[in-house]
Amino acid sequence: MQSVAAALARLGELAASPAVSRLASTFRAAGHELALVGGPVRDAFLDRGTNDLDFATDATPDQILAIVTPISEAHWDIGRQFGTIGAKVAGETVEITTYRSDSYDGETRKPEVVFGDSLEDDLGRRDFTVNALALRLPEMTLADPSGGIEDLLARRLRTPSAPEVSFGDDPLRMMRAARFTSQLGFEVDDGVREAMTALAERIRRISAERVRDELSKLLKTDAPRAGIELLVDSGLATIVLPEVPALRLEVDEHHSHKDVYRHSLTVLDQAIDYEGSRGRLDSPDLIVRLAALLHDIGKPATRRLEPGGSVSFYHHDLVGAKLAKKRLRELRYDNDTIAAVSRLIELHLRFFGYTEGAWTASAVRRYVRDAGDQLERLHILTRADVTTRNRRKADRLGFAYDDLEQRIAALAEEEEIAAVRPDLDGERIMAILGIRPGREVGEAYRFLLEQRLDDGPLGEEEATKRLRAWWANRVG
C-alpha cells in the first residue's frame, strides 16, 4: 500500500500520459467533465500495474462520440445503450461512460439505464468503496465520497451503500467480493459477509455465463483459495459449485481420512506453484486450476466405511470426471475446457500404480497416449495431489514421478512418443488385406496401435506380418 502522496504522484504520471492528457484537454475544451475512475485509481494506491483506462463524464454517449472521434485512431459504440463508448487514443484503449444513476427492479440483474449528472452519484452506485474512487481531470483532484481510501488502508471490502441494497441490486457483486478477496488480499467487512450469507440464493437470478466468468476470474488470481473459502462459507458455492462444499465430509468416530475439502484447496495451491515454476504453460492456466479444485469431487458419492476403520473411495476418479463434466456444462464452459478438465480428473490416479512396481515401456506409452495433449497438465495435477505431511512418503512419490517423466522424455526422444501411430496407415491396411473402407479397417488400425504401444516401432515388414496373422485368426 502506497502513501496518498505517492499514489497521487503515480496518478500524476498517468494523467500526463499522451492518451489521458489528450482526453482531459479535449473534454474540457468541449465544456464537459472527465474523471479517471475505478481500478486505475485504486491500483495506484496499491502499487499495482494498470491495465484498463476507464473514464466517467457528464457528456452523453452522442457527445462522447463527437468529442473522441477527431482525436482517436478508432472508436466503437457497442456499449452505447449503457452509456459506454470505446476508443483508441494515442495507442491506448479507453472506455468512457456517461454518469449513471441506474435503478433495479429487484428481480433481475438488468437495470433501467438512467444517465446522471453527478460524479458522486455515479460512484455511489459502484460495487465496493475501493472501486468508488475517481480522479477529476485535468484538475487532479481525488473524489472519494464513500471512504474508499480508508478501506484501502484497512485492506477491507465494503459497499458504498448498505450491502443488502447493493447485492440486491446486483447479486453478482457477491461473487466479485470473493474474487477481490483473492485478487487484492483484502478481508470482507462483517456486514458484507453477513449480507452474502443472507442473500446467497439471489445468485440464481444471474445467468450461468456471468457466474462462470466471475468464477474463472477468481480462479485465475494469484491466490484463489481465500475467495473460494468465502464462497463456501457464505453458501454461494452451494448454489454455483455445490460439489466443492460437498467435499467437507463428516468424519466418523471409528473411521478416519484426510479432510478432502482442505486437501483440494492445498492441491490447488500447489498446482499454481507448479504451473509457475515449470514454465511450460501460460499462467494462469484455468484448466489446471479447475482440475485441481475438482479432482476429488467424486469422493462423497464413493465413500465407503470399511471394517477396521479404513475408508475407501473406489472409482472416485471416474465418478468425479462425470460430475465435473456435468457441472462445467451447466456453467456454460466451452467444450474444450470441459473435455480437458474431465480427462485430467479421470486420469489423476493413474500414476499411483507406478509406485507399486516398475512400469513397462508399454505402460509408459499408454500413459502418454491417454493423456494426449493434456500431459503437461497431468504432470502438474499429479505432483500437486501429493499433500502428505510424511516427508519420506512425499519424497518417494516425488522421486517416482521424476523417474516417470525421465522415462517419458527418453521414450519420446527414441520414438516420438507424443505422436504414436501404427506402423501402417489405413491405406496400407486396406491394400495388404484387400478390403474396402469400413469398420474392419478401424479394428485393424487399433490392433496395430496396441502392438506399437506394447513393443515400440515395428517397421513395415514386421507390422505387415502381424497384421496378416491377426487377420487370418479373425476370419479363420
Residues 142, 183, single domain; the answer is no
The Cβ of residue 178 has, within 10 Å, a number of other Cβ atoms equal to 29
Q: What is the pLDDT of residues 424-449, one digit of tens each?
A: 988 889 999 998 888 888 889 888 98
CA atoms of 76 and 295, how far apart (whole Å): 42
Residues 2, 135, single domain; the answer is yes
Residues 344, 259, single domain; the answer is yes
Q: What is the pLDDT of residues 153-165, one digit of tens each?
A: 999 999 999 999 9
Residue 110 banded pLDDT, cuts 50, 70, 90: low
Of all residues in the chain, what percent are helix, strand and coil, respectively (each to 5)? 60, 10, 30
Please state whether the peptide bond connecting residue 138 to the residue before it is cis, i.e. omega within 30 degrees of 0. yes
CA atoms of 189 and 86, how far apart (whole Å): 34
Looking at 241, 262, 277, which one is the last position of a domain? 241
Q: What is the pLDDT of residues 234-285, one digit of tens each?
A: 999 999 999 999 999 755 444 445 689 999 999 999 999 999 888 788 889 9
Q: What percent of the chain has pLDDT over 70?
A: 92
Which pLDDT belongs to residue 254?
Answer: 40
Q: Does residue 409 carry a pLDDT above 90?
A: no
For the segment 445-470, the average pLDDT, to the nearest whole number, is 88
Residues 17, 140, single domain; the answer is yes
CA-based diameter of the chain, in Å? 92
What's the CATH number where 412 sits? 1.10.3210
Question: What residues pair up with 167 in beta bridges, in sequence order?
Answer: none
Residues 325, 377, single domain; the answer is yes
**Could you tell me which residue, 230 or 458, shows the higher pLDDT?**
230
Distance of CA 435 to CAs 209, 440, 449, 470, 471, Å? 49, 8, 19, 14, 11
Residues 289, 372, single domain; the answer is yes
Residue 1 banded pLDDT, cuts 50, 70, 90: low
pTM for the predicted model, two decimal places: 0.83
Q: What is the pLDDT of residues 6-51, one digit of tens each?
A: 888 889 999 999 999 999 999 999 999 999 999 999 999 998 877 7
Residues 285, 398, single domain; the answer is yes
Which pLDDT belongs to residue 60?
Answer: 95
Residues 142, 198, single domain; the answer is no
Q: Does residue 147 carry a pLDDT above 70?
A: yes
Which pLDDT belongs to residue 338?
Answer: 98
Q: What is the pLDDT of residues 57-87, one digit of tens each?
A: 999 999 999 999 999 999 998 888 889 999 9
Residues 213, 350, single domain; the answer is no
Lookup: cell for 97: 461512460
Residues 122, 21, single domain; the answer is yes
The sign of the torsion formed by the CA atoms of 343, 270, 185, 246 equals positive
The average confidence (pLDDT) of the chain is 90
DSSP state of 100: B
Q: Does residue 2 carry a pLDDT above 70?
A: no
What's the CATH number where 164 sits? 1.10.110.30
Which pLDDT belongs to residue 253?
Answer: 45
Residues 404, 442, single domain; the answer is no
**Could you tell me which residue, 183 or 366, shows the higher pLDDT?**
183
The SS3 assignment for 450 reads: helix
Helix (H) or strand (E) holding 142: strand 141-143
**Measuring CA to CA, which residue among 96, 147, 135, 184 is closest to residue 14?**
135
Which pLDDT belongs to residue 5?
Answer: 81
**Could you tell me which residue, 4 or 54, shows the higher pLDDT?**
54
Angle at 412 between CA 411 and CA 415, to 5 degrees: 75
Q: Does residue 377 carry a pLDDT above 90?
A: yes
Q: Which domain holds residue 198?
A: 155-241
Yes or no: say if 42 and 131 are a contact pair by the CB < 8 Å rule. Answer: yes
Q: What is the pLDDT of residues 298-339, one digit of tens each?
A: 999 998 887 877 788 889 999 999 999 999 999 999 999 999
What's the CATH number where 4 sits? 3.30.460.10
Which pLDDT belongs to residue 112?
Answer: 66
Which pLDDT belongs to residue 396?
Answer: 84
Looking at 116, 131, 149, which one is the last position of a domain? 149
How many domains does the chain fold into? 4
Residues 183, 34, single domain; the answer is no
Which pLDDT belongs to residue 255?
Answer: 43
